[in-house]
Structure 1
Amino acid sequence: MQLSQAHLRTLQTCPRQYQYRYLDSLMLPEATLTETPSQKQGRNFHRLMQQHLQGLDVHPILEAQPELKPWFEAFQTTPPPMIQGQGKAEHHRSLGWGEFTLVGVYDYVIFGQEQAQILDWKTYAAAPAPKNLSHDWQTCLYCYLLAATSAYSPKQISMTYWFAQGEKGANFYTFSYSDTTHQAVHQALEQCLNQLSQWLQAYGQGQDLPQVPAAQIPKYCHPCAFAERCRRSQPSGVSSIDPFLAVLKDLSVPR
């Protein structure tokens, strides 16, 4: 069973939603499956950056999709700080963990002599708070996977988010990885996957995965596409998986 940062984030938010989406393979309502113009533009920008960083001519893309020009010009004018080394776009990494396989697809990775840098392009309008982003499963999993599957030590790894719509001079966040963070992420993954294994055993016997606690219904259930299916008028009283990331909450956030 493959687990990406999206799977882990769904588990963290609501194990029952994870069940509906990935175990029961339930289709979301059609309205939630429709790609918005901003999502399509973001996907096209990622494809543009992939070709640009591979040394391919992107002018035909920019001529066909002029809405991407401001973002591409922003990258050329105010690029994120990037180390020297061999770069790989759309780089895949995976790591076996018992019955699971952790997977990550990186927008861009630079492999230097003594450092490795992960880069990720974000196209949404508002950047999240650095502390929230540092605790996000994408940051945690991508750095962890690279450290666990390469010769680089955790302290030699960093991850940079670049925001296409960010203000000049404040359009990127860089997070330094470390041995302490690596151990904390390992502990969080261990707790998360052990709990998931138990839930999967119970699921095989006909038991549903837990819902979020009643106190979190307004935050997580009201906007959820499966809210009606869950009938959250009867709170489950089951604890969520959020404590699995509590070990990360006090980590520093380098800028």
Structure 2
Amino acid sequence: MVNYRLSQQHLNLLTNCPRKFQYLYLHNLGVPITSAEQERLNWGSQFHLLMQQKELGLPIESLILENQEMLLCFNNFSQAASEILSSETQDDIILRQAEHHRSFNFKGYILTAIYDLLIAKNKQAQIFDWKTYRYPKNQEKLAQNWQTRLYLYLLVETSKYLPEAVSMTYWFIQPKSEKLPYKLTFSYNQQAHKKTEQDLQKILDNLTDWLKNYQEKGLEFPQVQILDTCYTCQFSSPCQGFSEVYNREGEGVSTDISADLIFSLDNIPEIVI
């Protein structure tokens, strides 16, 4: 079997809609995005680059002097997160690295993660991630998102830290806002680690079966037939999951999906929370 490399994005898709995973990664179908979405993605990439260069001790003036919005957000973040942006060295830090890569072989699949910032000390380790959108209303969804779960799991499996010694903190830096950024920290424990491992086992067992049936029998990956999910999906037309939901529920509403709806990403967030 090919050693597929799986990130949190892949795991979220396999959990939420395996058929969408098939379209994106087996059919190599692209997802059109609006100009507004592209602008937001570009801003997020620029902020991540800014934070990476700051951590590496590289000049950042060119990234902020001509961008007042970026300068404001960076100054606000520096004020709110002074404890992690401090240039003072600490004797107990073993590793401090931006854009830190981790990978782990699990059942023949390579699980991968990139931490925006990892600070590893003698007795504890912290993962930091920068989010360039507003503070989430539903924190439990973020706790269950595969970014949170996979990042913590990989750190424990690839180090000597116990689950209770690691944590993950999200910082929410919202563009065009003068408010100080908010943070949300998730702790970890042995019970959560075991549950994540069990869920990974189930997902990857399913993936192995789906891939085998797809390659040998031409069978498609399972659909998720949830009205809200199908209604906003870019692949509603080829998948027909949206149509099947309506047929099953007997709504008697037209199942014709307009191009404007299929290709709209205005309501799709950066991360499912």
**Is the TM-score greater than 0.5?**
yes
Quote the residue 1:42 is aligned against: 44
**Maintained 8 Å contact 1:159/1:174:** yes
CA contact (8 A) 2:171 2:181 kept: no
Counterparts of 1:95-110 in structure 2, within 5 Å, are 95-110=104-119
Residue number in structure 2 paired with 1:234: 244
Structure 2 matches for 1:116-155, cutoff 5 A? Answer: 116-155=125-164
Q: 2:100 aligns with which of 91, 106, 128?
A: 91
Q: Provide the C-alpha distance between the structure 2 equivalents of 1:70 and 1:203, rounded to a whole number of angstroms.
A: 50
| Superposed displacement of residue 150, structure 1 | 0.9
Partner of 1:24: 27
Match of 1:207 among 219, 235, 240: 219
More divergent stretch after superposition (124-133 vs 142-151): 124-133
**Equivalents in 2 of 1:187, 1:226: separation in Å?**
30
Root-mean-square deviation (CA, aligned residues, Å) is 2.3
- Give the distance between the partners of 1:39 and 1:158, measured in 2 at CA: 26
How far apart, in 1, do the equivalents of 2:219 and 2:41 lie? 35
Asked if the contact 1:32–1:225 (Cα under 8 Å) also holds between the matched residues in 2, the reply is no
Alpha-carbon offset, residue 121 of structure 1? 0.5
Kept in 2, the 8 Å contact 1:78–1:168? The answer is: no
Q: Distance in 1 between matches of 2:181 and 2:61?
A: 27
Judging changes above 3 Å, is the alpha-carbon distance between structure 1 residues 172 and 190 closer, same or farther for their aligned structure 2 residues? same
Question: Who is 2:67 aligned against?
Answer: 65
2:200 is the alignment partner of 1:189 = yes
- Name the aligned partner's letter for residue 181 of structure 1: A
User: Is this contact kept in 2: 1:87–1:108, CA < 8 A?
Assistant: yes
- Equivalence for 1:247: none
Larger Cα-atom Rg: 2
- The Cα of 1:58 is off from its aligned counterpart by 0.8
SS for the counterpart of 2:65 is helix
Unaligned runs of 5+ in 1: 238-255
Distance 2:229 2:83 in 1: 36
> Counterpart of 2:171 in 1: which secondary structure?
strand
Q: Which amino acid aligns with 1:20?
A: Y
Instruction: Indicate how the Cα distance of structure 1 residues 58 and 170 shifts in structure 2: closer, same or farther if over 3 A, else same.
Output: closer
Distance in 2 (alpha carbons) for counterparts of 1:119 and 1:131: 18
Q: Is the 8 A contact 2:169 2:185 kept in 1?
A: yes
Distance 1:206 1:126, change over 3 A: same
Q: CA deviation at 1:24?
A: 1.4
Give unmatched runs, 5+ long, in structure 2. Answer: 249-273
How much has 1:180 moved relative to structure 2? 1.0
Deviation of 1:167 after TM superposition, in Å, equals 8.6
> What is the distance in 2 between the residues matched to 1:34 and 1:10?
23
CA distance in 2: counterparts of 1:117 and 1:31, whole angstroms: 33
Q: CA deviation at 1:13?
A: 1.3
